[in-house]
Amino acid sequence: MSNGVVLSVSQLNRYVKSIIEQDMNLQTVFVQGEISNFTNHYKTGHYYMTIKDEYSSIKAVMFKTANMRLKFMPENSMNVIIRGRVSVFERDGQYQLYIDDMQPDGTGSFSLAFEQLKNKLAKEGLFDADKKKPIPAYPARVGVVTSPTGAAIRDIINVISRRFPMTELVLCPVAVQGDYAAPQIKAAIELFNAEKAADVLIVGRGGGSVEELWAFNEEMVARAVAASEIPVISAVGHETDFTICDFAADLRAPTPSAAAELAVPDSFQQREMFYGAIRRMNSAIADRLGSERAVLELHKATLKRLSPQNYIDNLRVRCDRAAMEMDSVVRHEMTVKSKKLSELCAKLDAMSPLKILARGYSVASKEGRIISDINSVAEGDKINVRVSGGEMECEVTGVSVK
């Protein structure tokens, strides 16, 4: 460009842009700085920001085609390392960074994305304990959302068939890593709910790197798990691996095998518990019957002691004893009286006039009265004379007084 040529603003900006774009050192640059004035343009999906350090700043843009690959959301005051190129925005005559990739400075992008999404969903209450649904004790059907060819499904099948073989296992095969994994996992969870095809869901896969497990850190998967009406057990990776899916699920299992153990009871253990309960019940019934029988015997003894029949029997015994005592007294009195009567009879018999008559004496009576005085009769009286063996009627022919 020679001196003295008059250029338009557009021409000047275009010329400067061509110079900058011809400099290969500016086509791929790595810049470290702090984000400020960050704007997520909701219509275009482009990110606009300023990258600054302690002394300078530069405008930057990250188009949607590039920022779709980010695992985290840029924020103001975040320190980042940027890979991009330098060019000029002709309309404003402003040179700026066109960002192709961005990484957090000091913290991995996966770690940052994990923490950002975790904090976001936690603030929404997606992980609240009161929203967790209980796992059914005896599920008839266990749904599994995982790869059909991985070790996870084999472990789950082995554990469930051993612990609770009467449970039906329903598998919805999905990709568990890669770009298509998260949408498939989300769709599988929603399909299980729409068809009510299981009583509990196991969602997960075996272990792997952070990148391989990342599908279970996607927001769409976390929201599908949290919205599921069927209780969800998350079983992603190994015991030390944690994913967003674990926090959203109703229960976290450290491994797929552990998830299967949590999903179904141990039939052998349940059988032993059942038989143990029967034994305890029989023992309790026997103890209760023994106790109640003892109480019944006590009541029977009390009733027997307080029974009117006992009272009557006691009175009867007392009456019998009194009768026996009375009989004994009467017999004694009769014996005494009989003896005395005999003695009196003997005396009477000894004094009986009949005895006197038998010895040759006689008894004279006049008009039924015994003649005891000679003066009570006179000559010519009719008298009766009683002798031994009979009685005579006599007439007094004479009376003499001696």
Among 179, 164, 170, smallest CA distance to 203 is for 170
* The pLDDT value given to residue 346: 78
Q: Which of 45-49, 69-73, 300-304 has the highest mean pLDDT?
A: 45-49
CA distance 397 to 113: 179
Instruction: Quickly state the pLDDT bin for 4 (edges 50, 70, 90).
Output: low
Cα→Cα distances 115→71, 183, 248, 336, Å: 11, 21, 14, 126
**Residue 1: which pLDDT band, with cuts at 50, 70 and 90?**
low
- Better-scored residue on pLDDT, 108 or 14: 14
* Model confidence band, residue 176 (pLDDT cutoffs 50, 70, 90): very high
Between CA 83 and CA 74 the distance in angstroms is: 14
Find the DSSP H helices in 101-150: 109-123
Distance CA 49, CA 38 (A): 4
Average pLDDT, the chain: 86
CA dihedral of residues 51, 53, 54, 58 (deg, nearest 10): -40
The whole-angstrom separation of Cα 152 and Cα 216 is 15
**Whole-number percent of the chain with pLDDT over 70:** 95
Structure tokens at 118: 């975790």
- Tens digits of residue pLDDT in 144-155: 999 999 889 999
What pLDDT was estimated at residue 107? 61
Q: Which residues, in sequence order, are bridge partners of residue 296?
A: none
State whether the Cα torsion 197-230-267-169 is positive or negative: positive
Query: Would you place residue 259 in the very low, low, confident or very high pLDDT band (cuts 50, 70, 90)?
Result: very high
Judge whether 113 and 79 are in contact, CB under 8 Å. no
Collapsing DSSP to helix, strand or coil, 377 comes out as coil
Q: What is the pLDDT of residues 331-388, one digit of tens each?
A: 888 888 888 888 888 777 777 666 666 666 778 888 878 877 888 788 888 888 887 7
Q: What is the pTM of this model?
A: 0.54
What is the H or E stretch that residue 350 is in? helix 308-351
Encode pLDDT of 71-117 as tens digits.
788 888 888 888 889 998 888 888 999 999 888 876 666 777 788 88
Residue 300 is inside which H or E element, if any? Answer: helix 267-306
Place of tokens 């797929």: 256
Rounded to whole angstroms, the maximal C-alpha distance in the chain is 232
Q: How confident is the model at residue 208 (pLDDT cuts 50, 70, 90)?
A: confident
Selection from 267, 227, 179 nearest residue 203 by Cα: 227
- Report the pLDDT value the prediction gives residue 109, as an integer from 0 to 100: 67
Backbone angles phi, psi at 82, to 5 degrees: -115, 140
Instruction: Tell me which amino acid residue 230 is.
Output: I
Q: What is the pLDDT of residue 222?
A: 94
